Structure 1
Amino acid sequence: MAISVSQIESLREKLEVMPQVEDPDRKVSKMEAVRMMASSIRDLQSRGYSIEKIAEILGDSGLDIAPTTLKSYLTKVKGSLGKSNYRTNSKPRGQSNGASRGEVKKASEKPASAVSTKPANTKNIPTGVTPVASSSFKPKDDTDEI
């Protein structure tokens, strides 16, 4: 059964307005648990607690996790915070800082400052490269030596 584009749009809108399910008893992975507690764990670290001690506290409370795993998860959580898909600025995509809302630059267009302004006559300008006649290159024969 095929579905129309208008039906898909209607369904998408319906899905977007649905509230988040509140289920405090749902099971989460250790990684998700560390993600949810990351700020509290970092706070304990800033107060002098070692990763080993924090892992012990978590284990006593029901989250058995090795100190090395905890450290790894904290590193991943810290890295994922900076790489989230959430856009922190309100600038629309496809516009540079100088573009107004109504104008979008094409990918092939270069800003005026990036356009090269070479002089028309470059024959007498020294380039630092010694010209070599194209017929002067002679490749050597291959040898068996490596």
Structure 2
Amino acid sequence: MVDRISHLPSLAALAVAGVFAGIGLWVDGEHPGWPFGVLLVFGAVLAAATVRPVGLWTVVPSPPVLCAALVVGGAALGGKSLRELVIASAPLVVRAFPAMVVAVAAGVVVAVVRVGGQWWQSRSSSTRRADAGD
């Protein structure tokens, strides 16, 4: 089933994860909580499930980068100086750390399942039973 939907380019999968993370940050406002965490994890899982196999190395570690980019981007839109930007965004990134860890772990699980499933299906015929065709 996953092989049928796993044709998204890496940048498109990152955009999908970014949209879900952005919605979660928008819903939570300035204090990332459980809605942000749930949407960040869902976006990471969806991106890891739909990306091409070669793009797993790009998508799986992306939640911390997406989170930091969204927090800093949101603070930058407020017209703050660089110092104010760092001071305003650091606590938000720290508060979102547990969600980022869970999102990366969920992406790793999806990647292991996908790569392991491909490995299992591509085993050589010498490891199969001789009477399997009968």
TM-score bracket, normalised by the shorter chain, equals 0.3 to 0.5
* Higher RCO (CA 8 Å, separation ≥ 6 residues): 2
Larger Rg: 1
TM-score by length of 2: 0.32
Length-normalised TM-score, structure 1: 0.30
Which structure carries more helix by proportion?
A: 2
